[in-house]
């Protein structure tokens, strides 16, 4: 089956002087109808400090998501009840959880990216649980606002960025458009914040992937376009071009001032 099993650090008990594990205090939901794979993924997440809930079908996944309010969802595409695409769509109506979708064939990923289902990342089976954990950890370690890196010197709202009528609160991870809160997923926020922190810079898709998904991410870079499309929609921009997220032809994207 999948690589890994209990290799690594079996039986090691957590010690109080260890640094906080990436998932400490966070909740993960595993949605997978193969019991052995669900158990394995769950055990890796628990080892990383997550509070794990495992469910085996799509309808249950949506119901439990409302109760658990997970930070991370590992979601199989092929499920009894509702399939992963529909679960993700429903999840997105009330959750900004980080969603990694598991697919049986790599060709499915292109289709899923085209469908704009709203997953943050994709992994094709069979995969290594370590690869899955590395992707989740990369997401959870995404660069935090500069104010934190500088030792908290940046106070008095100094981590808010303004672009015309658009305000981005980097610390609070909130976005306001004309005094109206704009609900973004984690990935949408991180794409926007990456562009906004360097407003003069045109980012290639690969540079955005390095910043948001992590430099080890491998896959179809048009995943970026899908998240930009969602962002533009939520910011009230035209699908093809945005006032805030602007296309730089032949390169990628840069921040606009809302004009």
- Interface with Ca ion includes 131 (CB under 5 A)? no
Stretch that binds Ca ion, among 77-85, 166-174, 196-204, 230-238 (CB under 5 A): 77-85
Q: Which is nearer to Ca ion, 44 or 244 (CB)?
A: 44
CB-based contact 245:253 (threshold 8 Å): yes
User: Which residue in the set 2, 22, 33, 221 belongs to the binding site for Ca ion (CB under 5 A)?
Assistant: 33
Residue 79 CB, shortest distance to Ca ion, in Å, is 6
* Nearest residue relative to Ca ion (C-beta): 78
- In order, the DSSP letters of 74-128 are EEESS-SSS-HHHHHHHHTTT---EEEEEESSTHHHHHHHHHT---SEEEESS--
For residue 253, which phi and psi values (nearest 5 degrees)?
A: -140, 155
Cβ neighbourhood burial of 179 (10 Å; 0-12, 13-18, 19+): exposed
Stretch that binds Ca ion, among 70-78, 80-88, 135-143, 150-158 (CB under 5 A): 70-78
- Interface with Ca ion includes 229 (CB under 5 A)? no
d(CA 182, CA 192): 12
- Interface with Ca ion includes 190 (CB under 5 A)? no
Q: Which is nearer to Ca ion, 83 or 221 (CB)?
A: 83
Residues that bind Ca ion (CB under 5 A): 33, 76, 78
């Amino acid at each position: 089956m999948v690589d890994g099993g209990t290799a690594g650090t079996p039986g090691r008990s957590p010690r109080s002087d260890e640094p906080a594990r990436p998932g400490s205090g966070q909740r993960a939901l595993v949605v997978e109808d193969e019991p052995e794979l669900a158990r394995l993924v769950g055990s890796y997440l628990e080892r990383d400090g997550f509070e794990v809930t495992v469910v085996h079908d799509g309808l249950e996944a949506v119901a439990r998501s409302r109760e658990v309010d997970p930070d991370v969802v590992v979601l199989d595409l092929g499920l009894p009840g509702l399939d992963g695409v529909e679960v993700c769509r429903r999840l997105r109506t009330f959750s900004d959880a980080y969603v990694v979708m598991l697919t049986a064939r790599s060709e499915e990923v292109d289709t899923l990216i085209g469908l704009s289902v709203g997953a943050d990342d994709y992994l094709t089976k069979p995969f290594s649980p370590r690869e899955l954990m590395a992707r989740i950890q990369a997401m959870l370690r995404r660069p935090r606002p500069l104010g934190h890196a500088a030792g908290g010197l940046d106070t008095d709202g100094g981590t808010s960025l303004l672009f015309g009528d658009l305000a981005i609160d980097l610390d609070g991870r909130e976005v306001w458009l004309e005094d109206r809160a704009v609900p973004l997923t984690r990935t949408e926020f991180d794409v926007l914040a990456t562009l906004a922190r360097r407003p003069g810079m045109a980012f290639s898709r690969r540079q955005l992937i390095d910043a948001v998904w992590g430099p080890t991410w491998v896959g179809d870079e048009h995943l970026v376009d899908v998240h930009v499309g969602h962002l533009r929609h939520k910011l009230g921009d035209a699908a093809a071009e945005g006032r805030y997220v602007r296309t730089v032809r032949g390169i990628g994207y840069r921040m606009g001032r809302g004009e």
